[in-house]
Amino acid sequence: MSTLTTPHIDIHRGGDRMKTRVSWLDSKHSFSFGEHYDPENTHHGLLLVNNEDIVLPGQGFDTHPHRDMEIVTWVLGGSLVHQDSLGHSGVIYPGLAQRMSAGTGILHSEKNDSWRLDDSAEHQEPVHFVQMWVVPDEPGLTPGYQQLEIDDELAGGGLVTVASGLPRYRERAAIAINSSHSALHVARMPGAEPGAAPQVIDLPDAPYLHLFVARGEVEMEGVGPLYEGDAVRLTRSGGQRITAHGPAEILVWEMHARLGGQ
């Protein structure tokens, strides 16, 4: 069992993230990634990667390998073309839940092909997305791919279970992941109408939670304002209220185990 038995809240501001910037890519890393390594910041719970990427039109990640990882990609703006060695090919866009299980090994590429999809200049835009990696239950699983459009569910403004391996969410999760201790929830909060009460949602209770503000600004009970790019890591906590006065989008990982054991 984890030695962390008392509630703990750790706030990470968006501006403090490690960054990779080249001519075609602006990438911000919540955890150690690639050449950016901090031994004190490698994961939270079972979440190893939370990268926020912006890729210019006609550019992207060439074919590269992955192994033994559950990879969930959430697009915030634009569109991302996915191709992999299993023969899957498709366009990921806002409101589409997508998961790739790397398992014993898979090759894939991710490109902003807006210039191919529509040759008119006004439709050539950067693609903005968050890619998240969680550890599967066991190594050596069969690679796989799954996607589902959930735009209608998100329109309600509450927490929507996007990806899950937790049994409690089996019936309502949009897509499945091979991690029986993890679930990703997303809320696309429209904010309050003028003169109306602000929109409020409650975080789930879990040994480990990771809240990421993908868009806008929210207030977290006991913490205060959180801005775009900010993240909060919660241990032995949960149930806090998240309030949005204006449009906002949050990504919440609920995890009931951590890397190296429960």
- Domain locations along the chain: 8-255
Work out whether strand 175-176 and strand 160-164 pair parallel, antiparallel, or are unpaired.
parallel
Cα radius of gyration (the chain): 18
pLDDT tens for each residue of 228-241: 999 999 999 999 99
pLDDT tens for each residue of 125-178: 999 999 999 999 999 999 999 999 999 999 999 999 999 999 999 899 999 999
3-class SS letters over 170-191: CCCCCEECCCCCEEEEEEEECC
Identify the residue with better confidence: 258 or 193.
258
How many whole angstroms separate alpha carbon 158 and alpha carbon 248?
11
Q: Which residue, among 157, 230, 162, has the nearest Cα to 197 in the 3D structure?
A: 157
Q: Which amino acid is at 77?
A: G
pTM: 0.93
Which residues 6+ apart lie within 8 Å of 214 measured at CB? 52, 74, 76, 130, 228, 249, 250, 251
Mean pLDDT across the chain? 92
Task: Return the CATH architecture of domain 8-255.
Answer: Sandwich (2.60)
Annotated binding-site members for Fe cation: 64, 66, 108, 110
First to last CA, the chain: 5
Q: Give CA angle at 72 (165, 237), nearest 5°.
A: 60
Residue 120 — pLDDT band, cuts 50, 70, 90? low
Annotated binding-site members: 64, 66, 108, 110
How many whole angstroms separate alpha carbon 225 and alpha carbon 13?
11
CB-facing half-sphere around the CA of 190: CA atoms within 13 A? 9
